[in-house]
Structure formats: structure tokens, C-alpha cells
Amino acid sequence: MKKTTILGTGSYLPSRILTNQDLSKTLDTNDEWIVARTGIRERRIVAEGQTCSDLAYQASLKALDDAALTPNDLDMIIVATLTPEKRLPSTACLLQDKLQGSATQAKKAAVYDIGVACSGFVYGMSIADQYIKTGAMDRILVVGTEVMSKVLNWKDRSTCILFGDGAGAAVFGPAERDEKIILSTHLFSDGSLHSLLGIPDQWVEMDGKQVFRQAIESMAQASKLALEKAHKTIDDIDLFIPHQANSRIIEAIAKRLKCPEEKIFTNVDKYGNTSGASIPIALDEAVKQGRLQKGDLLLIATFGAGFAWGSALIQW
Ligand code: UT7
């Protein structure tokens, strides 16, 4: 069996910043409340006409560049999104088309979207891992991309303050050296809880308190399982990247896992919850900031609508 490595990462955030202060001009809310309850200070919002595949394209180019690969090298493109710009075809097809327009082509790749909300990137990474480990495919691009701003009710202060737009990507392939290896992925879902978080009509609606509780429970459980299966403890972890939904959720998971603050990566203050893009953006930023050194053990935990959640362990 082969091992899967991360060949490159990339991310893209739209340049428009929407601060809590900006929100307080049109909503009955304030910076103090939002920061105290969520840790979010600002989020990014797409420019007029900028779409989900546009964000994905920018993040993908960076990930491919980081991997020193061209779109033509890809065997598969998996896009995780809950905000596709069209019902048909998939955002992955639109991304493939945009990549074909760049230096070279991505024509031979098999491409599709997956609908696992905030957990989409970790599910995508797990799918890529299976194809690569078995030798069925060599180079797989996984992208998490979201234009959350178009599925938010901007009059509902309990939801619209939480989310932001952005994209993150990673290219996976067979390992030639023993570095940046996916050691394991662990995926879970419970569809009986679907009514607690979703888009029943036009906008994101949720039972905030239930989601809050379940997110902590689920990510802590999935993280513990990843550690147990690898015969590791939290002391062996060098960096922990949880889903960037809310700093209070992250603090509560850290407490359950007894994970010290300095081992946790967060950027939720800058971007809010970017759903499926949250993990790959955080991963890319952690890499670019030098937070991961060769041999480090990285724990990832994710959670979202479905509910669907999971974890991954990566040896850097
Ligand atoms: O990927 C997962 C995505 N989902 C999440 O991450 C959400 C998880 N849940 C949460 O983060 C929290 O439940 C929230 C931040 C959404 C809400 O915090 P809470 O402590 O559960 O507040 P609450 O809903 O119990 O509301 C407390 C009060 C209410 O006022 P009253 O009824 O006590 O007078 C709300 O109307 O806070 C009010 N409120 C606000 N006040 C100012 C709700 N939203 C706001 C707001 N600004 N933006």
C-alpha cells in the first residue's frame, strides 16, 4: 500500500473586509457581543460577480504552484462546497474549465463536488487518500470553497455574523519521502440531526445552542479516536487545527482534549466560519506561517451540517 502525501497547499480570501462594526450599522448587534460569543472580528465577502469557482480557481492555482504541478498533472478534482454557483454542472466542472484556461490543461481529470458542508474538505481528503493509497490515482486536488454571503439572511443577527467567504486547496499524491503523510482519517455522520442546521429554504438556519454542544462533543470524540488509533496522546501533537467556527467551541474542545492553547491554530477572528473552506485555509496559513516543521504531528478536527464530522492525523 502506498502512502499519501500533501504536495502543496493554497488559499484565497476575497479582499473585501466586513467588520463587526460594519455589521452594527445595519443590525442590532455590536463588536463586543460578537467577539465575546464567537471570537470573530471580521470576515471576507466576495466582490460583485465573484463566484464559488472563482475563489476555488485562485486557491487551486496557488496549491498547484506550491506542489510544482500543472492542472494537466491532475487525475481528479474534488470540490467541497455548500454554495455552488449552479445546480448543474458541478463547481468542480467550472473549476476544471477555468484551470484549462490557464497555462495548461486539466482535461483528463475526473471531477465532482461533494456535499458535506463544513466537513467537506476532510471528507475530500479522505477520499483522495483512498485513491492514492491503492494506486488507483496519483494526483488529486481537493478544494473547499464557499460564498456563504449569498446564503445568509443579513437581517438575522444570530446567523449572519458567523460566516465568511473564501477558499482553500491542497494537492495530494503518493509519497516519495516519509513527510507530510496522511496517517489516518476518521469520518462520521448522524442524519437524524439534520434539522438542527441547514438551508431549509433560502438562508442558513440553525439551533445555535444545539449546534454549539454537538460541535464540541463530536470534534472532541473524533480527535480522541484519531489519537487512540495511532497510539498517541495529545502530548504528541504539535499542532491542532479545529474547524474554525467559533473560538468558544475551539476553547471547549481544547479543554476536553487537554490541548494547550499554543498548539492550536485559529484564524476565525479574521475570516469567521468559511464552512468547507475553513480547514484548508487554516492548513495553508499554518504552513505559510511556519507552524509545521518536518516530523511534527498535526491533528485536524471538523464538524458541520448533517451532522457530519471527522478528524485526520498527519505526520508533517
Ligand atoms: O459549523 C457550525 C456552524 N454553527 C456554529 O458555529 C454556531 C454555534 N452556536 C453558537 O456559536 C452560538 O449559539 C451563537 C453565537 C450563535 C449564539 O450564542 P448564544 O450564547 O447561544 O446566544 P443565544 O442564541 O442564546 O442568544 C442570547 C441573546 C439573545 O437575546 P435575549 O433573547 O437573551 O434577549 C439573542 O437574541 O443574544 C441575542 N443575540 C445577539 N445579540 C447581539 C443573538 N445574536 C446576537 C448578535 N448581537 N449578533
Kindly report, residue by residue over 203-240, the tens digit of the pLDDT: 999 999 999 999 999 999 999 999 999 999 999 999 99
**Which amino acid does the sequence have at 301?**
A
Spacing, Cα 194 to ligand 1 middle (Å): 19
> Any residues with Cβ below 6 Å from ligand 1, and which?
29, 33-34, 37-38, 118, 157-158, 161-162, 206, 208-209, 211-212, 215, 245-246, 273, 304
Q: What distance in Å separates the CA atoms of residue 93 and residue 116, rounded to the nearest whole number?
A: 18
Q: Are 219 and 253 a contacting pair, CB within 8 Å?
A: yes
| Contacting residues for 74 by C-beta, under 8 A, at least 6 apart | 99, 106, 108, 109, 139, 140, 141, 171
Q: Residue 155 burial (CB < 10 Å; 0-12/13-18/19+)?
A: exposed
Whole-angstrom Cα Rg for the chain = 18
What is the pLDDT, as a whole number, of residue 102?
A: 58
The candidate with the shortest Cα–Cα distance to 189, out of 279, 310, 278, 79, is: 310
Residue 47 Cα distances to 26, 50, 59, 147, 164, angstroms: 19, 5, 16, 10, 13
Q: Are 175 and 4 a contacting pair, CB within 8 Å?
A: yes
Q: Are 141 and 256 a contacting pair, CB within 8 Å?
A: no
pTM value? 0.97
Spacing, Cα 247 to ligand 1 middle (Å): 13
Which SS3 state, helix, strand or coil, does residue 297 take? strand
Question: Which among 243, 246, 259, 267 is annotated as catalytic?
Answer: 243
- In the DSSP assignment, the letter for residue 47 is P
Q: Edge to edge, what strands does the sheet with 181-189 contain?
A: 110-114, 76-80, 140-146, 166-174, 4-12, 181-189, 308-315, 297-304, 239-242
What is the pLDDT, as a whole number, of residue 240?
A: 98
The candidate with the shortest Cα–Cα distance to 308, out of 48, 109, 36, 123, is: 123
What is the pLDDT, as a whole number, of residue 108?
A: 80
| Contacting residues for 24 by C-beta, under 8 A, at least 6 apart | 30, 31
Counting as low any pLDDT under 50, the low residues of the chain are: none
Spacing, Cα 248 to ligand 1 middle (Å): 12
What is the pLDDT, as a whole number, of residue 106?
A: 62
What is the pLDDT, as a whole number, of residue 256?
A: 98
CA 113 to chain centre: 14
Q: Per the structure block, which three cell numbers stand in for 100?
A: 484549462
